[in-house]
């Protein structure tokens, strides 16, 4: 075996090892990335007998007064813990609302979940572009478009506490409801 032949075999061996190590690193990277899955649906809960309800009250035959709430299930399907800070509703206008229910912020260990409820009015009667959760790194994890459309349609099919009011100073008509979850409204910048 010549020296050149030996160098060639060593270079092939080195390239093979480097390729295998690179492939391992890519797989590790993909496994370690943040992966959050969310599901949202309407739920019906017995009405609070003290008159204080978070959800929209409706009468259900055979069950009496029920409150309609929006249930949000957040699952960390990744291999790294991540903090979920808020539920986000983004309107077509670019404005968004960060809703912070009692269960958030929450740190989700790998393969764990948290379920929370919010008022359905957050998505009633407005053009919702995105619905999801915000993690502590600033990433938004959203519902699939089809699931969002079905959720908004279902929510809008029930009565809502979102009503129209006239601003006493300006006379402008505004749509509002009494939000019972902490929230922050982030207005989109106005175009000049």
CA–CA gap between residue 174 and residue 169 (Å, rounded): 12
pLDDT of residue 87: 97
| pLDDT band of 51, cuts 50, 70, 90 | low
Residues 159 and 138 in one domain: yes
CA–CA gap between residue 98 and residue 88 (Å, rounded): 5
- pTM for this predicted structure: 0.78
Residues 24 and 73 in one domain: no
Residues 133 and 44 in one domain: yes
Domain count of the fold of the chain: 2
What DSSP state is assigned to residue 47?
P
In this predicted model, what pLDDT tens digit does every residue of 96-154 receive, in sequence order?
Answer: 999 999 999 999 999 999 999 999 999 998 899 999 999 999 999 999 999 999 999 99
The whole-chain average pLDDT of the chain stands at: 87
Number of helices (H), then strands (E), belonging to the chain: the values are 2, 12
Domain of 14, in residue numbers? 1-32
For residue 180, which of 48, 79, 78 has the smallest C-alpha distance?
A: 48
Contact by Cβ (8 Å): 71, 62: no
């Amino acid at each position: 075996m010549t020296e050149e032949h030996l160098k060639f075999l060593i270079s092939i061996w080195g390239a093979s090892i480097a390729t295998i190590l690179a492939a391992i690193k890519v797989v590790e990277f993909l496994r370690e990335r943040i992966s959050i899955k969310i599901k949202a649906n309407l739920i019906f809960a017995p009405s609070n007998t003290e008159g204080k309800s978070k959800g929209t009250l409706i009468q259900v035959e055979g069950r009496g007064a029920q409150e309609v709430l929006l249930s949000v299930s957040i699952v960390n399907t990744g291999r790294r813990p991540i903090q979920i800070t808020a539920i986000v509703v983004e309107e077509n206008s670019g404005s968004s609302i960060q809703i912070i229910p009692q269960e958030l912020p929450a740190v989700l260990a790998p393969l764990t979940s948290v379920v929370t409820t919010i008022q359905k009015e957050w998505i009633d009667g407005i053009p919702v572009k995105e619905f999801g959760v915000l993690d502590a790194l600033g990433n938004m994890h959203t519902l699939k478009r089809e699931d969002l459309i079905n959720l908004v349609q279902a929510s809008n099919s029930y009565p809502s506490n979102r009503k129209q009011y006239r601003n006493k100073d300006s006379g402008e008509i505004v749509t509002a409801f009494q939000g019972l979850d902490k929230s922050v409204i982030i207005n989109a910048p106005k175009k000049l």
